[in-house]
Amino acid sequence: MFDAFFFQQVINGLSQGLVYALMAIGFTLIFGVLNVVNFAHGELYMLGAFAGLLVIQAFAPPLFVVLLLVVAVGLVSGVLLERIAFRPLRRFADEASLKSKAIREATLLSSLAISIVVRELVSNLFGSNMQTIPQQYLLMTPITLGPLTFASGQFVIFGFALAMLLALQWFLFYTRSGLSVRAVASNLTGALHVGIDIQRTIVLTFMLGAALGAVSGFLVGLYTGNIFPAMGFGAGIKAFVAMVMGGLNSIPGAIVCALILGLSESIATEYIPQGWADLISYGLLLLTLLFFPNGIFGGRRERV
């Protein structure tokens, strides 16, 4: 039986999942390396969207140029975030203190505080309402294939997510900097002993994660047409859920779980009212934490 409406819901769910996945990639990268939750990741996502919007409103360049500028904003804000919220609290460079409970909670609180400051600042500067995006930039051109309708943004986001995943895997496994990122993630003391510059690697990780967050915020903003200061919170929570389900340090795991999340939310709206569908992701988060403490795709890190 081929039910076009149901199939359309599946497509929408998968593209929603890709949106979460884009965000989860950067989130997982930072968590996997440093073992700290970056609560300000949603604000990086929001900043990327606003930076893109400002550039469009000021110069209206081609989309490609806007993307490059958004990446630049992401890189810079990643460095700033690390410098302001994470480095001052990382007082000792040994592994035990980096992974201690106290430093995790302190950085959780500091990134939470920074995220509030940034969000409130932006919403006071630009107003908390949705921003209007020039029509020609919206990625909402409908593309009809038989009984199904796609938006052009779905293809862009899918292509971007795939490219990012492949590029990131290539970077992490085949380049020198990527290898040092993985070395720091797996054993900090060992990385120190073989002469890896820990500070530089951590900054690099933040830059990468932040740039990914910023670009995904911009693309999602163009796809959904919603750019507003509080947009980062919901997406950040969903990305976090995907990261936990995926096993915390596995980027492919986070992507698969983000797709599952988007799909289950989209299918759930078939059977339950829209407002209640938000419960699905929180329910999945609790179930995962309870029954798969290492994530569904088996992270090897000790967690509970």
Local structure of 150: helix, strand or coil: strand
Regarding 16 and contact with another protein (CB under 8 A), the answer is no
Figure out which of the listed residues 8, 278, 292, 297 binds another protein, where binding follows CB under 8 A. Answer: 278
All residues at 6 or more sequence positions from 240 whose CB lies less than 8 Å from its CB, including other chains: 24, 27, 37, 285
- Whichever of 110 and 201 has its CB closer to another protein, that residue is 110
**Residue 153, amino acid:** G
Contact 206, 82 (CB under 8 A): yes
Regarding 273 and contact with another protein (CB under 8 A), the answer is yes
Regarding 120 and contact with another protein (CB under 8 A), the answer is yes
Regarding 240 and contact with another protein (CB under 8 A), the answer is yes
Regarding 63 and contact with another protein (CB under 8 A), the answer is no
Q: Which stretch binds another protein (CB under 8 A): 114-122, 147-155, 163-171, 261-269?
A: 114-122
Figure out which of the listed residues 289, 292, 294, 301 binds another protein, where binding follows CB under 8 A. Answer: 289
Say how many residues make up the chain: 304
Q: Hey, which residues does 150 pair with through a beta bridge?
A: 143
Figure out which of the listed residues 68, 96, 109, 148 binds another protein, where binding follows CB under 8 A. Answer: 109
How many Å apart are CA 206 and CA 208, to the nearest integer?
5
Figure out which of the listed residues 54, 76, 79, 117 binds another protein, where binding follows CB under 8 A. Answer: 117
Local structure of 38: helix, strand or coil: coil
Size of the site for another protein (CB under 8 A): 39
- Whichever of 96 and 121 has its CB closer to another protein, that residue is 121
DSSP 273: -
Regarding 279 and contact with another protein (CB under 8 A), the answer is yes
Burial class (CB in 10 A: 0-12, 13-18, 19+), 252: middle
All residues at 6 or more sequence positions from 79 whose CB lies less than 8 Å from its CB, including other chains: 203, 206, 207, 210
How many Å apart are CA 262 and CA 188, to the nearest integer?
35
DSSP 131: P
Figure out which of the listed residues 16, 110, 205, 216 binds another protein, where binding follows CB under 8 A. Answer: 110
| Token output for 251 | 């980027």
Figure out which of the listed residues 4, 68, 121, 166 binds another protein, where binding follows CB under 8 A. Answer: 121
- Whichever of 244 and 296 has its CB closer to another protein, that residue is 244
| Token output for 283 | 């329910």
How many Å apart are CA 99 and CA 130, to the nearest integer?
39
Q: Which stretch binds another protein (CB under 8 A): 2-10, 82-90, 136-144, 157-165?
A: 82-90
| Token output for 131 | 């921003």
Regarding 195 and contact with another protein (CB under 8 A), the answer is no
Q: Which stretch binds another protein (CB under 8 A): 70-78, 140-148, 167-175, 283-291?
A: 283-291
What sign results for the dihedral spanned by CA atoms 132, 136, 139, 141? positive
Regarding 233 and contact with another protein (CB under 8 A), the answer is yes
- Whichever of 146 and 275 has its CB closer to another protein, that residue is 275
Q: Which residues of the shown chain bind another protein in the complex (CB under 8 A)?
A: 37, 85, 88-89, 101, 104-106, 108-110, 112-117, 119-121, 124, 233, 237, 240-241, 244, 273, 275-276, 278-279, 282-283, 285-286, 289-290, 303-304
